[in-house]
Amino acid sequence: MNNQRRLFSLKMRASQQNRHISGAERIVPEECVAATAGELVSRAMSHSKGQPDFVNVKIESADQPMELPALTATTREAATPEAGWGIVKQLLAESGFRRVDEIIGLFSQTYPMRGAMLLDADTLERLEPDRERGVRATYMDAADSSKRTAPTAKNHFSEALVLATKVVNTPGIVGEICMSDDPDYVTGYVATKTLGYVRITCLKRRGDPAGGRIFLYRGSKERVSETVEFLQCRRVLVTGVPSSPPTKTETAAVDPLSELDGELDEIRRAGLWRSVRVSPPQLQSFADNDYLGLSEDPRLKAAAVAAIAEFGTGSGASRLVTGTKPPHLQLERHLAAFKGTEDAVVWATGYMANVGAISALAGKGDAIFSDELNHASIVDGCRLSRAEVFIYRHNDLDDLSAKIAQAGPRRRRLAVTDAVFSMDGDWVDLPRFLELCRANGVISMIDEAHATGVMGDTGRGLCEHFGCGHPDILMGTLSKALGCEGGYVCASRMVCDYLRNRSRSFIFSTAPCPATAAAADCALTILEEKPGLVLVVRNKAAAFAALLAERGMPVQSGSAIIPVMVGDEKRASAVSQALERRGFLVPAIRYPTVARGQARLRVAISARMEKKDLEALADAIAEAMRETAQD
C-alpha cells in the first residue's frame, strides 16, 4: 500500500424503523470513494432483509492504517451442528482454553447483540462496556477491496476473514468464535493466531436465526479499554484476502471421537442426559417392573442357589451346542403349560427374544405391521428383518386394517403389538387384533412383557383378560412380574422349531445362566399356587390412580403401570429430582423412550407396596408438580 495516497473509510448502515438491516465498511484510496459509496448504497437498497427507510454512508479519512496479513483459512466439514460444535471444542481445548463447555454455552446470550461478547477466557467474566450491544470491530477492510468486482451481496467469507484478522491481532485478544446470524448461513469459524481462521461448515440448523461472536480476552482488567479502543478505532487493512473460501477441506487428523462429545453436549442442553447408577438404598423405588415382588422372594433365591450348586454359574455354550441344561427345558415346558401352548423357546433377554423372533419370521419382501408405540426391541427386530415395515397409529386397528390393505399380498405378513404398552400402561383390543389378522392371513404376535403376571385373573396375560384365543406368537419376558430375566415365545411346536433353527440371537448367544431358568420356573410355580397376587397388584394400582385423581391428576390405569404426564423433558427431570429429595425413586421417562414433549413419570406398582407408601408418593408427586410449575 502506498502511504502517500490518501485513504478513506466508508461506513454504510441501513435500517428500517430504527431496526438494523445491513451494514458494511470499506477502506479505499481517494479515487475510489465515489464508486464505493455507490456500491454500498445499492447493496443497502437491495438487502434480503427488506427495504431500508434510512441509509447512512459515513466517509472519513483513514490515513496510516495498520497492515496485517490475512489469517490462513482452512475449512473443516461438519455434517451436523453437533459435529460442528465438537470441532469447535476440540480446537479450543487444543489451543489451551479451559472451561470450553461454558464458553460455548454463552452463545445462548449473544443472539440479540449487534456486537461481540468480550469474555475473559479464564474467569468467563464479561468485559464489554455495553452488554446489550457488545463490542464492535470496525475500520477494517481487505487491502485490495477497490480492485475487486464489487459484489452487491455480502461475501460472508472475505468480510469475516478481515474481521477475524483484525480481532486476533488486537492486543489482549487470544481468540474468536463466530456463528452467523443469517438463518441460511450455517458456516461459522474459530480463529486464533496459531490456528488461523478455521471455518466449520455447520454450526446450526438451516433456518435458525441464532448467531453471535465471542472475543476471548486474556490480560489485566485495566487494559480492557485499550483492547476495545483498538477494535473500534484502529484502521486496519488486511492483505492477501482470498475472495472465496479454500475449497480443499482440511484433512489433518480430526479426532474421530470429538464429534461424540459435541453430541453429548446436545443431549445435556436438551435435558436428556442419562447415566447409570446403583439405586440409592435409602430411596423407595417406584420404578421396578418387579410387579409381584418376586425378585426378592426367598423361594426364588433358593431355587437359583440350588441350580448354581448343581450346574455352575454359566451355561458354557449356546443352547444348540452344549449350553442347554435341565432347568432350561423344564422352564420351557412350564411356560408352554402356563400359557396353554404346545411349546416355548427361551432367550437370555426379552430384547433378544423380540429381535431374534421377528427377524427370523419376516424377511426381505415381507410386510410387518407394528404399533407406533411398540417397544424398542420390536422396532429393532423389524429393522433387522429387512421386511417392509408399516407403522400404524397407536392402538388404532382401523389404521392397522388400512395398512394391511395397503401392503397387499406378500410371502409373509406379520402384525406385532405390545399387549400392555410399557410407557402408557394401556393395552390392545386383542380379540379384534386377532380377528383382523386371522381374516387377512396375517401372522399375529403380541409382547406380554407387562401383561404376564398382571393381566387376567391368574396372571396368564391378555388372552385370559379377554377370554379370547392365542396369537400365533405369544412373546413375553421373565424379568418383570416373574422377577428374573430372559424372554420367551410360547407358540406351536412348529413355530418354536422354526425359531430354534432360524433365530440368530438364540443360535449365536450363550444360553442363559441355568440359575436364572430355575428361578423363573419357581416364579411360575408360585404364581400357579397363589394367583391372588395378581389381584393384589391390580387393586393397588387402581387405589394409587384414585389417590392421584383426588389430587387433581387424573391418570389412566388398569395395569401395574401408571404414567403421570408432565410434557416438558426438563420439568419431568426436575419433578423426578424433587421426588428423590423426598425419598422416592420415580424415573422421568423422556425422549427417545417416548415422543418429544411427552415426558412423564412412570410409576410401577408392586404387590409389595403398602397403602401408606402409595399415599406418601401421591402427596409427594402433587408437591413436586406444584414446585416445578413455578420455574
- The residues carrying an active-site annotation are 422, 450, 480
25 binds Mg ion (CB under 5 A): no
185 binds ligand WAQ (CB under 6 A): yes
211 binds ligand WAQ (CB under 6 A): yes
Contacts of 333-338 with C-beta under 8 Å, sequence gap 24+, read 334/521, 334/524, 334/525, 335/488, 335/490, 335/524, 336/490, 338/460, 338/524, 338/527, 338/528
CB of 58 to ligand WAQ, least distance (A): 15
| Candidate segments 210-218, 446-454, 552-560, 608-616, binder of ligand WAQ by CB under 6 A | 210-218
CB of 572 to ligand WAQ, least distance (A): 33
CB nearer to ligand WAQ: give 199 or 465. 199
CB of 116 to ligand WAQ, least distance (A): 4
Task: Pick the binder of ligand WAQ from 65, 175, 245, 471 (CB under 6 A).
Answer: 245
Task: Pick the binder of ligand WAQ from 39, 181, 448, 485 (CB under 6 A).
Answer: 181
| Candidate segments 184-192, 285-293, 456-464, 472-480, binder of ligand WAQ by CB under 6 A | 184-192
CB nearer to Mg ion: give 144 or 208. 208
CB nearer to Mg ion: give 182 or 208. 182
* CA separation for the pair 499, 347 (Å, rounded): 11
236 binds ligand WAQ (CB under 6 A): no
* CA separation for the pair 499, 557 (Å, rounded): 34
* CA separation for the pair 597, 591 (Å, rounded): 8
* HEC readout, 521-570: HHHHHHHHHCCHHHHHHHHHHHHHHHHHHHCCCCCCCCCCEEEEEEECHH
* CA separation for the pair 357, 498 (Å, rounded): 10
Tally of CA atoms within 13 A in the half-sphere of 46 that contains its CB: 10
Write each residue from 182 to 221 as x if it is in contact with Mg ion (CB under 5 A), else as -, in one continuous string: x---------------------------------------
CB of 109 to Mg ion, least distance (A): 17
551 binds ligand WAQ (CB under 6 A): no
CB of 561 to ligand WAQ, least distance (A): 48
* CA separation for the pair 9, 3 (Å, rounded): 15
CB nearer to ligand WAQ: give 241 or 416. 241
Choose the one of Mg ion, ligand WAQ, none that binds residue 514, judging by a C-beta under 5 to 8 angstroms depending on kind.
none
502 binds ligand WAQ (CB under 6 A): no
Contacts of 573-579 with C-beta under 8 Å, sequence gap 24+, read 573/271, 573/599, 574/624, 574/627, 574/628, 574/631, 575/601, 575/621, 575/624, 575/625, 575/628, 576/601, 578/620, 578/623, 578/624, 578/627, 578/628, 579/617, 579/620, 579/621, 579/624
278: its cell numbers: 446403583
Q: Report helix angle 611-629 to 532-550, nearest 10.
A: 30
CB nearer to ligand WAQ: give 155 or 509. 155
Helix, strand and coil percent figures for the chain, each rounded to 5: 40, 20, 40
The answer to whether 116 touches 137, Cβ cutoff 8 Å, is yes
Site for ligand WAQ in 147-166 (CB under 6 A): 156-157, 160, 163
The answer to whether 387 touches 368, Cβ cutoff 8 Å, is yes
Instruction: Tell me the site size for ligand WAQ, rule CB under 6 A.
Output: 25
CB of 603 to ligand WAQ, least distance (A): 46
447 binds Mg ion (CB under 5 A): no
Write each residue from 88 to 127 as x if it is in contact with ligand WAQ (CB under 6 A), else as -, in one continuous string: ----------------------x--xxxx-----------
| Candidate segments 173-181, 338-346, 552-560, 566-574, binder of ligand WAQ by CB under 6 A | 173-181
User: Cis link prior to 592 (omega < 30° from 0)?
Assistant: yes
Number of C-beta neighbours around residue 196 at 10 A = 18
| Candidate segments 109-117, 180-188, 473-481, 519-527, binder of Mg ion by CB under 5 A | 180-188
β pairing state of 117-120 and 212-217: parallel
The string of DSSP codes covering 428-485 is --HHHHHHHHHHHT-EEEEE-TTTTTTSSTTS--HHHHHT----SEEEEESSSTTSS-
Write each residue from 369 to 388 as x if it is in contact with ligand WAQ (CB under 6 A), else as -, in one continuous string: --------------------
CB nearer to ligand WAQ: give 157 or 291. 157
128 CB-near residues (< 8 Å, 6+ apart): 115, 116, 117, 118, 134, 135, 228
Cell match 453429548: residue?
264
* CA separation for the pair 461, 481 (Å, rounded): 11
* CA separation for the pair 614, 605 (Å, rounded): 9
CB nearer to ligand WAQ: give 176 or 448. 176
322: which DSSP letter? I
Task: Pick the binder of Mg ion from 176, 181, 448, 569 (CB under 5 A).
Answer: 181
9 binds ligand WAQ (CB under 6 A): no
CB of 75 to ligand WAQ, least distance (A): 8
Choose the one of Mg ion, ligand WAQ, none that binds residue 187, judging by a C-beta under 5 to 8 angstroms depending on kind.
ligand WAQ
**CA nearest to 227, candidates 111, 137, 354:** 137
Tally of CA atoms within 13 A in the half-sphere of 362 that contains its CB: 33
CB nearer to ligand WAQ: give 13 or 450. 13
**CA nearest to 111, candidates 178, 37, 40:** 178
The answer to whether 286 touches 604, Cβ cutoff 8 Å, is yes
* CA separation for the pair 419, 399 (Å, rounded): 17
| Candidate segments 95-103, 176-184, 416-424, 483-491, binder of ligand WAQ by CB under 6 A | 176-184
476 binds ligand WAQ (CB under 6 A): no
CB of 54 to Mg ion, least distance (A): 18
36: its cell numbers: 464505493
| Candidate segments 174-182, 233-241, 300-308, 385-393, binder of Mg ion by CB under 5 A | 174-182
CB of 7 to ligand WAQ, least distance (A): 19
180 binds ligand WAQ (CB under 6 A): yes
| Candidate segments 49-57, 181-189, 472-480, 593-601, binder of Mg ion by CB under 5 A | 181-189
CB nearer to ligand WAQ: give 71 or 541. 71
| Candidate segments 134-142, 319-327, 363-371, 451-459, binder of ligand WAQ by CB under 6 A | 134-142
Q: Which residues bind ligand WAQ (CB under 6 A)?
A: 110, 113-116, 136-138, 156-157, 160, 163, 178, 180-182, 185, 187-189, 199, 211-213, 245
Q: Which residues bind Mg ion (CB under 5 A)?
A: 181-182
